[in-house]
Amino acid sequence: MTAATWQHAPLTWDEESDVVVVGSGFAGLAAAIEARNAGCSVVVLEKMKGYGGNSLLSAGFVAAAGTALQKKSGIPDSAQLMFNDMLKSGLGLNHPELVRTLTEQSAEMLDWTIDVVGVRYVDRIDQYGGHSVPRSYLPHNLSGSGIVKPLLSKVASMGVPIRTCHFVQQLCKDEDRRVCGVRVLKGYRFPAGDSGRLISIKANKGVVLAAGGFGADTAFRSLQNPRFNQTVESTNKYSTTADSLKQALHIGAMPVQLSWIQLAPWTTPDEKAYGIGADFAEIAVSPYGVLVNPATGQRFISELADRRLQADAIINIGHPCIGIVDEKGAMASGIDYTRCVKRGIVKTFFNIKAIAENYRMPVDALTDTIRAFNRFIVRGKGDLLGKPMLSKARPIEHPPYYGIRLWPKVHYTMGGILINTKAQVMDLNRQPIAGFYAAGEITGGIHGACRLATCAITDCLVYGRIAGKNAAANS
């Protein structure tokens, strides 16, 4: 057995727990809750000083199909329709059995977040890029923290410790090739390297890896796709690296589709990382406004196309596009956009001519574009770019108008390690690695070529719960 497939377990352990969870975002916290609920002792390890990782940065949208609110609202939806949408967005590269499990458990997962975890959602259902029908739910505070904080409270109430500044340096296997624990740098300070004191923690039943993606790891991601080098910004926290992924690969986990990296089409070059403008663009502009090429004054893509299509379309025009929405559209979104305006990321205009002059657009072409869009909204059908009609959408005719420059940034990594529907990590022969489970963005194969909007948290929570239950059951 070579070092590439077997990291020897230490002769003695500093401490032990039934289940060891790596990562304190959506997937890790869901796994911890379910493992503890099954009667196991659980410890959560987090390499950073704070909890939540990229989960805290997200807008918090959760996609779920066939829910009670959809039925009450007369929205026809099903797990099968959501399955079809995910495979269409993923160009059929998705592993169907993984998608099937996600979509079939999505409604029950949403109920779990409400009834067990205590998450509160806005009383509406939204439709975002690539979805056939409205099926996306937004936390009451319009942020991923609206889910993370209740998860943290639930974990705390169950007596599960979360150890911050604990960096998992090594996954350990025993002589039976079972993952039996981890070596951890306690007191680690990212990105200081090998800082902290090395300790070993035994996992009596299993290790759940929920450490997120590698969107901010320029060196690793550019090896997978050379286009995404240091010239391309990322929405992720700077701590979003491939360290845990590489540890999993080192002990023989199967890599899947690592080169498929998603760009966020609704980010702006006028601020770093994710910023505050991204939520405005995604939640207000995409459903209620238009995306315009400033060189022509014309729309060039459906504002509700999937992320890959939108990002590619923006890159193809060769410069930032302009997102435009009016006061009524911005108000209908429910988002607080005053901070964006105060910082100058979103600009305010009182007529179409002012928008055109500010962004150096042909005013007649922009006027015609807005008029054509308004006719589509009034008719409720026939958009030449295929944007689906939303019941709350209104014509863009109520000043003030708001504009934002948009240019894609690396947002999500669809590739990762392969799991099965039990969230067991698979080896190079597609056999489960005993004692090893994973969930969330560190896994691959679920989203294919392009993650469908608002499905990431669904993925994290569905498979996080599955991983926690099965690790506890030692299955």
197 is catalytic: no
Paired tokens of 281: 């663009």
The Cα–Cα gap between 412 and 264 comes to: 8
The Cα–Cα gap between 102 and 210 comes to: 16
Question: Which parts of 347-456 are beta strand (E)?
Answer: 347-349, 401-406, 409-413, 416-418, 424-426, 432-438, 443-444
Q: Which amino acid is at 433?
A: I
The Cα–Cα gap between 62 and 459 comes to: 9
Q: What is the DSSP string of 261-286?
A: EEEETT--TTSSSSTTHHHHIIIIIH
φ and ψ at 105, to 5 degrees? -100, 5
Q: What is Dmax (Cα atoms) for the chain?
A: 76
Task: State the catalytic residue, choosing from 135, 183, 307, 405.
Answer: 307
Among 437, 465, 411, CA closest to 211:
437
Contact criterion met (CB below 8 Å) for 81 and 437: no
Tally the residues of the chain.
475
Among 17, 48, 121, CA closest to 454:
121
Residue 443, judged by CB atoms within 10 A of its CB (0-12, 13-18, 19+), counts as buried
What three-state secondary structure class fits 127?
coil
Signed CA dihedral, 278, 101, 132, 85: sign only? positive
Signed CA dihedral, 456, 457, 463, 468: sign only? positive
Contact criterion met (CB below 8 Å) for 85 and 55: no
The residues annotated with a catalytic role in the active site are 307
